[in-house]
Structure 1
Amino acid sequence: MAIELNDDLIQLQRASDEAHAAVRADPSPEAWAVWRERAGAVQAAVTEWAKENDKPRNEVEAAVKKAVRHPAPPEA
């Protein structure tokens, strides 16, 4: 059964991934701080969403990452 994610989770993961890319380009303490903050926000949101929707947290996290990093092609 597919997990129906909300846009907030997707946006948080995208922001975290962008911050991670920034760390890879410039591993400054400031960039690391931004990434840690955004990654923490994703983790907290995933945990809360999983509890509210009675879904396994690890499955929700995997679904969020898959949706952001490997989106399905648009239907024709």
Structure 2
Amino acid sequence: MAIELSDELIELEERAWQEQQHGALTVKTANAVQDAITAHAEATGQNRYEVEKELKRVVRHPKPDE
């Protein structure tokens, strides 16, 4: 089963990743991402760990066609 991600979830992770790369990740941003991952996983019936893993892969290591 393919993991489904929302645009909002991807945007939150992109913001967190940018902050992290600049050494400026805030607790507020990190919590927002974690809360959104949990809510998305629950709403879609997906495994929370798998959602987070795929989200990080898509944002940090995208395939050329993504």
Fold shared by both chains (TM-score > 0.5): yes
Structure 2: stretches of 5+ with no match in the other structure: none
- The correspondence of residues 15-54 of structure 1 with structure 2, limited to 5 A, is 15-23=15-23, 31=24, 34-54=25-45
Identity, in percent, stands at 42
C-alpha separation in 2, matches of 1:74 and 1:11? 18
Aligned to 2:49: 58
Structure 1 outlier segments of 4+, above 2 Å:
none
TM-score (ref. length: structure 1): 0.79
C-alpha separation in 2, matches of 1:52 and 1:63? 16
The residue type equivalent to 1:70 in the other structure is H
The residue type equivalent to 2:51 in the other structure is V
C-alpha separation in 2, matches of 1:71 and 1:3? 14
Tell me how large the CA RMSD over aligned residues is: 1.5
The residue type equivalent to 2:17 in the other structure is D
Structure 1: stretches of 5+ with no match in the other structure: 24-30
